[in-house]
């Protein structure tokens, strides 16, 4: 990490609340680096008490008086103002590097947080990692652009559920069967429930099978006794 925006993104990835993120003017810094981390190859900021920044690197015109070495009056106020301003500059940094797609995804995520998709959907989304949430938000954008489709639902299941297969019944067009090769638990049920809620169109009926595959005539590996589910 060398820049302010990298620290802000890393804090988000490590799920550090903004109010726990403290910025301050570095006591000793390099003129060639913006962040003054303890290590040049610093990969985490969880254990750092404060994030020290060379505020003269890009923001000299803002902090030349507030963080001047001779400015010793009201140190607590100066530190609080510096932290508050850097938080805003960091958010501006992140937004300035966002594409339109990333911006829309951020708005969708805020809709989840505000409960616009329902309280249950908000809590279910929290079960996914940041990378998995990105997949879900990208899938929603794709769905808004092209309309709902079974292909998008299949992609979401296979990208988000390990060892999963989606089947469409030959006898009943709107019957979908999802096999997940994991032991059933509450977290897994809630995760697949959100995927179905967001991406399975209303006419489709989705049945989910965990751990044991259902038997398929003519496919010997699915017809083994004690290792199959009857449906």
pTM above 0.75, yes or no: no
d(CA 39, CA 2): 11
Place of tokens 């638990």: 185
d(CA 214, CA 165): 11
Q: What pLDDT sits at residue 145? A: 87
Write the pLDDT tens digit of every residue in 175-224: 998 999 889 999 999 999 999 999 998 889 998 988 877 655 444 444 45
Q: What pLDDT sits at residue 223? A: 47
Q: What pLDDT sits at residue 219? A: 44
CB 82 within 8 A of CB 67: yes
Following CA atoms 117, 119, 124, 128 in sequence, which dihedral angle do they give, to the nearest 10 degrees? 70
Q: What pLDDT sits at residue 120? A: 94
Give 15-72 as a DSSP string: T--GGG--EEE-SS--TT-SB--SSTT----TT-SSEEE-TTTT-HHHHTTTT-TT--
Q: What pLDDT sits at residue 75? A: 76
Flag residues of the chain having pLDDT under 50.
217-223, 230
């Amino acid at each position: 990490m060398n820049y302010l925006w990298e620290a802000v993104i890393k804090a988000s990835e490590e799920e550090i609340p903004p109010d726990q993120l403290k910025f301050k003017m570095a006591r000793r810094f390099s003129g060639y680096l913006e962040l003054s981390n303890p290590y040049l190859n610093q990969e985490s900021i969880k254990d750092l008490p404060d994030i020290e920044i060379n505020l003269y690197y890009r923001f000299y015109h803002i902090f030349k008086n507030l963080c001047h070495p001779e400015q010793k009056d009201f140190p607590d106020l100066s530190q609080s103002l510096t932290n508050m301003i850097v938080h805003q500059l960091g958010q501006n940094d992140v937004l300035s590097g966002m594409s339109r797609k990333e911006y829309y995804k951020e708005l969708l995520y805020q809709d989840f947080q505000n409960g616009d998709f329902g309280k249950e959907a908000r809590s279910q989304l929290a079960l996914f990692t940041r990378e998995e949430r990105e997949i879900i938000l990208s899938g929603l954008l794709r769905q808004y652009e092209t309309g709902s489709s079974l292909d998008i639902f299949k992609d979401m299941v296979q990208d988000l559920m390990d060892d999963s297969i989606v089947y469409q019944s030959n006898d009943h067009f709107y019957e979908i069967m999802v096999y997940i090769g994991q032991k059933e638990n509450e977290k897994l049920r809630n995760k697949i429930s959100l995927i179905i809620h967001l991406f399975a169109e209303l006419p489709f009926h989705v049945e989910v099978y965990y751990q044991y595959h259902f038997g398929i005539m003519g496919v010997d590996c699915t017809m083994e006794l004690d290792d199959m589910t009857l449906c």
